[in-house]
Amino acid sequence: MPAPGTVEFPGQKRRKIRMRGTKQANKDTQNRLRKNLDRLLSEGEALLPEVTWNGKISWRKGDPVKKTIKEIQKVLDNRHNQKWLSKRMMAKRGDPLAKAWAGSLSAAHDEEITIVGDFNHPSFGKGSFVRRGDGKPLYLAAIQNHHLPSLKMAAWEQHARKGFHFFSWKKGLVCSGFQPVIPEGWLEDVLERSRFEFMKNEEGWCTKDLTQDESLPHISLKFCNDEIVLISLNSIEKKSKESFIHHLALSMLPPNLNHVLKATFSWKPEGFEGDYGEDCEEDIQSVFEGWIGLTMDERSLPERLKITQLNHIESGIIVNKIWYESPHNAIVGFSGSEKEKKLAVHLLELANGEAIRIDQKGVSSERKGGAVEIQTSSLNHILLALWEDYGAKGLEEYGIPSQDALDLWEEQWQKKKGFNRFLNEIEVKRTLAKKSAVFPFKKGELKGITGEINDLVMAGLIDGKGLAEKIATEKRKQIDSAAVGWSWLVATQRSKGKEWQFEQGARDKGSAWVVSVKNLIAQGQLLIDGEKANYEQAIDEVKLSVGESS
């Protein structure tokens, strides 16, 4: 049935239809493709891979690579026969790569290049090509962009899948067969086009910064042809859109660098001269496998290698990748009070060899090696991370009796105060306990009015006059107890303006005890000052004064 007729109106513009995946070629694209296509016609044989392998394949008739090259050679022999090329580029049988060559050579006879295909591959890169014939876009793009080392090699990807090795660079393309044999000139060209600036020396190649100092941390790549390439860690850490290892891998097929190189790591943390253990090299090679296998961000490689090596240090303290044998030296630069530093040293000594990592938030986790690794710069975080397991014992080392240390550990574990405040409170308690120990009687030990006076005097001398004054001015139901407070206020000259808080009877009674109370205060101060005192005799005088002597 014939198609329905169409109506065209005056002035109607005809629509241009363009195939998906194509674009209008700009001037640069036209010039580049013209140059590449002309070279296909004039030097096509020079663009074929050089086969350096002479082995035999028992399970097949002949070498498949050489067979493909032979098919392409037939196409090249008919490069000026456009009728023959037109037939070959649409053939359903025959070598698919030779078919793409026929299409590309046919396109080379076009006078103008207008519409081109737009090829983009995540590994081999991108390039424009003239779509001609029934060839695969990958093959057409690879053949017509032979100036791009990675893309031109992609045409031989079908053979690489079968185990053949290809090496591509600006000046050539080599197939070394089933063994990766690096051709002469390949490595030098690849390094020259990489993101690093390499310098040649007697031993091989190295990044420019290593020419002045080869002791700098670096990675060494030893290739199967015994050539060595040194890359400094500083060079790798620099920001770049390109990846060196991707660039290197995509200069060969299959892109398996494990077949052609061995990587080693040269770095040691400042201060450390010991051994890393038997498993260290194995773990470092595991990191390299991720890098060489193209599954790792290249800039993160130096950090991962350093962390892996640090994980195999069995003792000491690691701070910012610097090793310290002594915890005291490790925390010198940390912010915090001297009390916090002293306690932190005790805890770190207890934790040394226990394989602990302390992160920036003060959270502890297990690490492989026995050393303590500190990633935070806060002493409070260190103390917090180690407190649960080492806090009680650390307080004992700090100088606190065992039972008191356990009570304080539990209190801090529950309340989680700032450690500077916590330690200051401990110091206050220790000072008060030391003062209390010099008195022959403890608070509450003596009974009656004498006991109240003793307790108030000790409070003033140990806890401070402010606290004692608060106790002295508290309301009391009994006149004798009120008189105790008044006697202390008068004896310490703190009674002015407080008369209204005491009844007349309490003031009169307390005033009669002032002399003995003042003497008791004086003797107590001598005890605190470490001098000879007659505190017990002064207590007897107080008893006599208040009428409690036996």
Query: Taking 50 as the threshold, does the pLDDT of residue 267 lie above it?
Result: yes
Burial of 525 (0-12, 13-18, 19+ CB in 10 A): middle
Span 371-389, mean pLDDT? Answer: 92
At 21 the pLDDT is 66
* 196-203 LR contacts (CB < 8 Å, sep 24+): 196/231, 196/235, 196/244, 198/229, 203/228
Per-domain boundaries in the chain: 22-163, 186-310, 317-434, 438-546
Which residues are CB-neighbours of 368 under 8 A, at least 6 positions away? 311, 312, 355
Q: Which two tokens stand for residue 335?
A: 């912010």
Which residues are CB-neighbours of 468 under 8 A, at least 6 positions away? 456, 457, 459, 460, 488, 492
| φ, ψ dihedrals at 261, nearest 5° | -150, 160
Query: Taking 80 as the threshold, does the pLDDT of residue 486 lie above it?
Result: yes
Q: Which two tokens stand for residue 124?
A: 């081999």
At 475 the pLDDT is 72
Q: How far apart are CA 179 and CA 349, in angstroms?
A: 55
At 76 the pLDDT is 95
Q: Which two tokens stand for residue 261?
A: 């190189």
Check: CB of residue 316 under 8 Å from CB of residue 371. yes
How does pLDDT run across 197-207, given as a tens digit for each residue? 999 988 899 99
Query: Taking 70 as the threshold, does the pLDDT of residue 14 lie above it?
Result: no
H-type alpha helices, 268-330: 280-292, 301-310, 327-330
Q: How far apart are CA 539 and CA 550, in angstroms?
A: 13
Q: How far apart are CA 57 and CA 63, in angstroms?
A: 7
Span 380-395, mean pLDDT? Answer: 93
Burial of 501 (0-12, 13-18, 19+ CB in 10 A): middle
Q: How far apart are CA 44 and CA 274, in angstroms?
A: 60
Which residues are CB-neighbours of 152 under 8 A, at least 6 positions away? 47, 142, 143, 145, 146, 168, 173
How does pLDDT run across 153-191, given as a tens digit for each residue? 999 999 999 999 999 999 899 999 999 999 999 999 999
Span 231-246, mean pLDDT? Answer: 93
How does pLDDT run across 415-435, given as a tens digit for each residue? 888 898 988 888 888 887 788
State the CB neighbour count (10 A cutoff) for residue 350: 18
pLDDT, the chain, mean: 89
At 6 the pLDDT is 57
Query: Taking 80 as the threshold, does the pLDDT of residue 22 lie above it?
Result: no
Span 8-29, mean pLDDT? Answer: 67
Q: How far apart are CA 440 and CA 534, in angstroms?
A: 10
**Cα Rg of the chain (Å, integer):** 45
The amino acid at 212: Q
At 61 the pLDDT is 63
Percentage of residues of the chain with pLDDT beyond 70: 95
Q: How far apart are CA 388 and CA 414, in angstroms?
A: 11
The DSSP-derived string for 1-19 is -PPPP----TTPPPPP---
Query: Taking 90 as the threshold, does the pLDDT of residue 401 lie above it?
Result: no
- Res. 262 pLDDT band, cuts 50 70 90: very high
Annotate 362-374 with b (16+ C-beta within 10 A) or e (fewer): bebeebbbbbbbb
Query: Taking 50 as the threshold, does the pLDDT of residue 17 lie above it?
Result: no
Q: How many residues does the chain have?
A: 550
Query: Taking 90 as the threshold, does the pLDDT of residue 232 lie above it?
Result: yes
Query: Taking 90 as the threshold, does the pLDDT of residue 335 lie above it?
Result: no
At 8 the pLDDT is 59
Check: CB of residue 171 under 8 Å from CB of residue 185. yes
- Res. 60 pLDDT band, cuts 50 70 90: low
Which residues are CB-neighbours of 280 under 8 A, at least 6 positions away? 308, 309, 312
Opening angle at CA 317, ends 314 and 319, nearest 5:
125
pTM score: 0.74
* C-alpha torsion sign, points 128, 131, 132, 138: positive
3-state secondary structure of 69: helix
Span 234-245, mean pLDDT? Answer: 92
Respond yes or no on whether the N-terminal peptide bond of residue 269 is cis (omega within 30° of 0).
no
The DSSP-derived string for 422-444 is HHHHHHHHHHHHHHHHTSSS-TT
Query: Taking 60 as the threshold, does the pLDDT of residue 272 lie above it?
Result: yes
* C-alpha torsion sign, points 390, 393, 397, 399: positive
